Chains A and B, each alone.
Chain A
Amino acid sequence: MDGYYAFMLIATAFVLMMTVPALALFYGGMSRSKSVLNMMMMSFVAAAVVGILYVAVGWSMGFGGEGTLFANPFELLWLDGVTTDNYVYVMFQMTFAIITAALISGAVADRLKFSAWLVFLPLWAVIVYFPMAHMVFSCTEDSLICGRIGAQDYAGGTAVHINAGVAALVLVLLLGKRIGWPKEQMRPHNLTLTMLGAGMLWLGWYGFNVGSIVFGTTFDEDPEAFLSQFYSETGRTFANTTLATFAAILGWLLIERLLHGKATSLGAASGIVAGLVAITPAAGAVNISGAVAIGFIAGGVCAWAVSLKYRLGYDDSLDVVGVHLVGGIIGTVLIGVFSTSEGAGSIDGLIYGGGFGSLGDQTLGVLVAITYSGVLTAVIGLGIKYTIGLRLDEEDEVNGIDLAEHGESAYDLHSGSSGGGKSVLAASTVSISSSEGANA
């Protein structure tokens, strides 16, 4: 039990690291140099806003009792009645809420007003994420996705990835394309940041998946069963998380090589995330060959799915839909195929003779998640669009959102190129701006 508690503290810190800074780096590198700071800031403020709200009402709505869609928000308001030895579980779940909201930001690069993001975050957390977390993670009898439908979702294929992916799609449709998209070149400005971010996401994901263990008994009731589940299940989820990711890298690179001629570093980074997304719901349900299959399929399909936006004409800037929605659906649905009764849910999937029952439950769970998130995100998005507005001013968008919304630029591109010395031209630029007080 001591070991489990210590492990949960570490796992919680790891999942927080997935948002700040891992996701910020992953997305930031893919942004253009004039909007990288805004992209990273969206993750940072998602942590602050959603984190505080989670403690206020999120935990109560998720885990404060019974309810089909959510539990009583006021039951455990501000953690009233929650003892501090349970805080680590609150913090762990809080980090999930944070990263789910932050994931959405990749779709709206370069053009969403910072104020609109700050209004969207709390509304979306309370109306969409907290209920979804209840439906999936608080597996009471009448909670919709876990209890009533009985869909398996170990760490958040529906509540986190499908949820964020659908919300991203809805927001992008309301927000419109970036000026110049898709004709203007909008290539990633620093793929080394993206590779670093992907690696850190992977590390953090062990906290995310392995930390999501739910025990069938308490330590006090049955120490032996508790420890036995702890040892065997964490080994399973750790191995599955790892192997699915390896397979997804290869799946993505293969499809990319076949479709576009080259295996790219961005493809490897994206494959990592696609594999982790897909194994998230399935980490406890499948064995290692199932994990490899799910990872490989997710890597390959997502590599193809990221180009859908060009055919369908929606500017999902950093492919939140192509990676998180598509990867989330693949992982959640394929549980119905690869699930084994030795796994966490004790359910046999299609290939282990379990028939179509599990596949049906998983599909229904996916459809409910898509519908709930889609409809309510649209309501929130429309509300913001017709009050304070979603979209940045056209001139500000062209000049760069970093400068317009934060008054900063990420890089000093006028410094001399050698030895840290500044060229004469660069020096004169600096003196002009400091005389106006901008650099003071």
Chain B
Amino acid sequence: MKLVTAVIKPHKWEDVREALETFGVTGMTVSEVSGYGRQKGHTEVYRGAEYDLALVPKIRIEIVVDDADAEDVVGIVVKTAQTGRIGDGKVWVSPVETVVRVRTGDTDEAAI
């Protein structure tokens, strides 16, 4: 099993969710996060005072999938979240040792 973590632009969230659902992903965990990459935030000016706001709002999606699906899920996120402009985000895949469904006690693939 793999954990796919994606950090994307907030306005792409609905598109990504829809595409993942169509593919057959049954659940995910989503959080509103802030951070920055190479684009280094943005600048705001109030009465001539410039403020460098380092942190940019992002959406983080976490999905646990079968090994076989990981590559497809990554591909879907990249394809739907892409605008081609700076700040589109990142997707990464990490191995998962065990998954347990709290309600039934099912483990691993049966719990996904």
Contact = CB atoms under 8 A, between A and B. Distances in A.
A, B in one complex? yes
Interface of A: 182, 185, 187-188, 256, 259-262, 264, 266-267, 270, 303-304, 306-307, 310, 319, 322
Nearest to A185: B51
Most central of B44, B48, B49 by chain A CB within 10 Å: B48
B47 interface: yes
Contacts of B102: none
Contacts of B49: 182, 187, 307, 310
B45 interface: yes
A266 B48 contact: no
Contact of B46 (A182, A261, A264): A264
A187 B48 contact: no
A371 B36 CA distance: 51
A307 B48 contact: yes
A306 B51 contact: no
Tell me the dominant secondary structure on chain B's binding face. Answer: strand
Interface string B34-51: 000000000011111111
Nearest to B43: A261
B51 A260 contact: no
Contacts of B47: 266-267, 270, 303, 306-307, 319, 322
B44 to A, nearest CB: 7
A256 B48 CA distance: 7
A256 B46 CA distance: 10
B51 A262 contact: no
A328 B51 CA distance: 29
Contacts of A187: 44, 46, 49, 51
A112 to B, nearest CB: 21
16 contacts: A182-B49, A185-B51, A185-B53, A187-B46, A187-B49, A187-B51, A188-B46, A256-B48, A260-B48, A264-B46, A266-B47, A267-B47, A270-B47, A303-B47, A307-B48, A310-B49
A259 B50 CA distance: 12
Interface of B: 44-51, 53
A306 B45 contact: no
Contacts of B50: 260
Contacts of B53: 185
B34 to A, nearest CB: 14
Given A260-B45, A266-B47, 6 more contacts: A182-B49, A187-B51, A264-B46, A304-B48, A310-B49, A319-B47
Contacts of A306: 47-48
Nearest to B44: A187
Contacts of A264: 45-46
A181 to B, nearest CB: 10
B60 to A, nearest CB: 16
Contacts of B44: 187
A310 B46 CA distance: 13
A303 B50 CA distance: 14
A58 B62 CA distance: 67
A261 B45 contact: yes
Contacts of B45: 260-262, 264
A14 to B, nearest CB: 27
3 closest residue pairs by CB, A with B: A307-B48, A306-B47, A260-B45
Contacts of A303: 47-48
Nearest to A318: B47
B38 to A, nearest CB: 22
A80 B53 CA distance: 59
Contacts of A322: 47
B32 to A, nearest CB: 9
A310 B47 CA distance: 11
Contacts of A319: 47
Contacts of A261: 45
A96 B51 CA distance: 36
Most central of B46, B47, B53 by chain A CB within 10 Å: B47
A182 B46 CA distance: 13
Nearest to B45: A260
Contacts of A185: 51, 53
Contacts of A256: 48
B13 to A, nearest CB: 14
A267 B51 CA distance: 16
A185 B54 CA distance: 11
Contacts of A262: 45
Nearest to A322: B47
Contacts of B46: 187-188, 264, 266
Contacts of A182: 49
Most central of B44, B46, B51 by chain A CB within 10 Å: B46
Nearest to B50: A260
A188 B46 CA distance: 8
